[in-house]
Amino acid sequence: MTMKPLSLILLILAITIPTSLTYAGQMPDRNHPLRTQAGSGSHRIPGVSCLSWRLAVETDNIRDWDLVPSSCEGYVGHYMLGHQYRKDCNAAAWAAYDYAKGLTLKKDGKDVWIFDIGDTSLSNLPYYARPDNAFGAKEFNETTFKEWQLEGKAPAVPAILDLYKRLLKLGFKIVFISGRSESLRFITVYNMKKVGYHTWEKLILKQTSESGTTAMVYKSKERKELEEAGYRILGNMGDQWSDLLGTHVGNRTFKVPNPMFYVA
């Protein structure tokens, strides 16, 4: 195996200062060293670089995509484990807080901010960084993903946890709406509290009866019920456009970056 100087430098960096390349102090699986084609934008979709692919995903131009293009696995891995994903999360949180602090709340217990859970509040990055998942470049495995969720070890997305704390201080009531199954309530609550989400108005999980509905339909219905119960949805934040589109989306929506998978 021959390596170019840049590859060697990257490898040395990855070995010697791993925490600077990892997420929230979580070590990615050592069996999955990042590939050296990463960041160079190799092409699978003709004429579309990985950087442009990611922007197209983030702006909802590319929809219903199945897998991260295999040529972009390394790029997405570097993005997610490097500084830029964190910075982009920080910017989303900054924009949200900048908006939130300008609002005059009624403080009647009905001023609501909605957060999605998976890859918005809690990070599944340790799972997706595993070689069997390859940052979304390998087919989604429902069984291993559920096993990962049942471990209750997902770290917080730091920028969102920080925003959550700030919103509580401003007087918002927090509602979490997640596509996770109701059967995972115990471990979800455990995991959320463990990493710092210690209080909420509601934590809504998907009922078995709704397992056939899309996230957009399910979340729209839950938001409708919140509004019918008198809650005012002032902010709504998620990593999927299906968290933010549909009906009763709230006064402002905020997209958290996620180039690893698509949920309709």
Contacting positions for its own copies (CB under 8 A):
45-49, 51-53, 55-56, 58-63, 84, 87-88, 90-92, 94-96, 252-255, 257
Q: What is the layout of strands, in order, in the sheet containing 202-206?
A: 202-206, 173-181, 111-115, 232-238, 253-255
Cα–Cα distance, 218 to 259 (Å, whole number): 22
- Kindly report the number of other CB atoms within 10 A of residue 109's CB atom: 11
Looking at beta carbons only, is 49 or 213 nearer to its own copies?
49
Looking at beta carbons only, is 56 or 263 nearer to its own copies?
56
Looking at beta carbons only, is 135 or 254 nearer to its own copies?
254
Looking at beta carbons only, is 183 or 253 nearer to its own copies?
253
* CA 243 to each of CA 113, 145, 196: distance values in angstroms, whole numbers, following the listed order: 13, 20, 22
Least Å from the CB of residue 79 to its own copies: 11
Least Å from the CB of residue 238 to its own copies: 11
Least Å from the CB of residue 184 to its own copies: 29
Least Å from the CB of residue 85 to its own copies: 10
Looking at beta carbons only, is 97 or 148 nearer to its own copies?
97
Looking at beta carbons only, is 111 or 239 nearer to its own copies?
239
* CA 84 to each of CA 49, 75, 149, 240: distance values in angstroms, whole numbers, following the listed order: 17, 12, 25, 18
* CA 26 to each of CA 13, 22, 73: distance values in angstroms, whole numbers, following the listed order: 16, 6, 19
Least Å from the CB of residue 95 to its own copies: 4
- Kindly report the number of other CB atoms within 10 A of residue 247's CB atom: 12
Cα–Cα distance, 18 to 16 (Å, whole number): 6
Q: Decide if 226 contacts 112 (C-beta within 8 A).
A: yes
Q: Decide if 237 contacts 113 (C-beta within 8 A).
A: yes
Cα–Cα distance, 209 to 217 (Å, whole number): 13
How far does the chain reach from its first CA to its final CA, in angstroms? 41
Least Å from the CB of residue 179 to its own copies: 20
Looking at beta carbons only, is 62 or 150 nearer to its own copies?
62
Least Å from the CB of residue 23 to its own copies: 16
Looking at beta carbons only, is 98 or 108 nearer to its own copies?
98
Least Å from the CB of residue 235 to its own copies: 11
Tokens at 91, concatenated: 């910017």
